[in-house]
Amino acid sequence: MNTYDAMLSSERLRLPSPIPLQTPINVGLLFFNPEPWRFFPVTQIDVVWFPDGPGGDNFTEKIFRGPIHHMAREALGYIRRNYLDETVIKHRDRAEATRVENFPYDAVEEAIINAIYHRSYEEREPIEVRIGVDEMVILSYPGPDRSVQLEQLRVGRANPRRYRSPPIIEAGTDQVTDQVTDQVTSLVWVLDGEMSRKAMLKALDLAHSAHFREAYLVPALSAGLVEMTLPDRPNSRLQKYRLTKKERTWRVKNPPRGPRHG
């Protein structure tokens, strides 16, 4: 029996001497082991696409599992790549076009992160993201805390002072911050307007395209700081990349660190 299986069978984790036998806390099991669902059943996000509406028989489903901060990042990246669109409306009387999103990414991110942080991990139900052509519904059980009244939600004045999982909120904030690596920071600070991969490689003084993609580009896309100009054609030779609206706030809090080669 390996260490991990022993921990599961005894619900304890033996640490090196002279540290005594200790019990892992729930927040550690949710963030720092690869299979939190073995402790908290159905800890997962189900993303379900209904092309004919929620009442239709046709749907596709993708399930995300793992440490909850990884689960959130992967689910958000998947939703962004497959279901978020932007329409560009050009105007005759001015140079700047109007960009309209079907589902604003910032709102989707906030809703899903809140669903993860505020769900009850005693409930054996997944977080479910139901996506249709004109709506997105995010279900998290058992719903709002009892201190939140329906009438407050209707008028937009719900300010609950109770939190279902304060340790998860605190740890999650640190994990989301740590997602943005030095490489991603470097990319954000050199990305000027719309740039191709070749142009970004040159700006970062990098030679290896595969390393750039894995260490810089993919994490920046997953973090919601960079987006494709042609999201419906990810492999197009005309594909370029630009900063998102989220980046404007993020950049103020994160000064440039310079490119990292490695």
Does 107 have pLDDT greater than 80? yes
Q: Across residues 15-39, what is the average pLDDT? A: 72
Q: H/E element holding 51?
A: none
**For residue 25, is it within any domain?**
no
Q: In this structure, are 81 and 172 located in the same domain?
A: yes
The overall average pLDDT reported for the chain is 78
Q: In this structure, are 106 and 163 located in the same domain?
A: yes
Q: Residue 242's pLDDT is what?
A: 92
Among candidate residues 58, 55, 113, 105, the one with its CA nearest the CA of residue 82: 105
Query: Which residue segment(s) compose the domain that 83 sits in?
Result: 45-176
Q: Is 61 helix (H, G, I), strand (E, B) or coil?
A: strand
Among 198-207, 216-225, 252-261, which is the least confidently predicted range?
Answer: 252-261
Q: In this structure, are 140 and 199 located in the same domain?
A: no
**For residue 19, is it within any domain?**
no
What letter does residue 168 receive in the DSSP assignment?
Answer: H
The pTM score is 0.57
Cα–Cα dist 177/180, whole Å = 6
Among candidate residues 122, 168, 160, the one with its CA nearest the CA of residue 141: 122
Does 4 have pLDDT greater than 60? no
Chain center to CA of 85: 17
Q: In this structure, are 170 and 197 located in the same domain?
A: no
Q: In this structure, are 227 and 197 located in the same domain?
A: yes
Does 132 have pLDDT greater than 90? yes
CB 159 within 8 A of CB 231: no
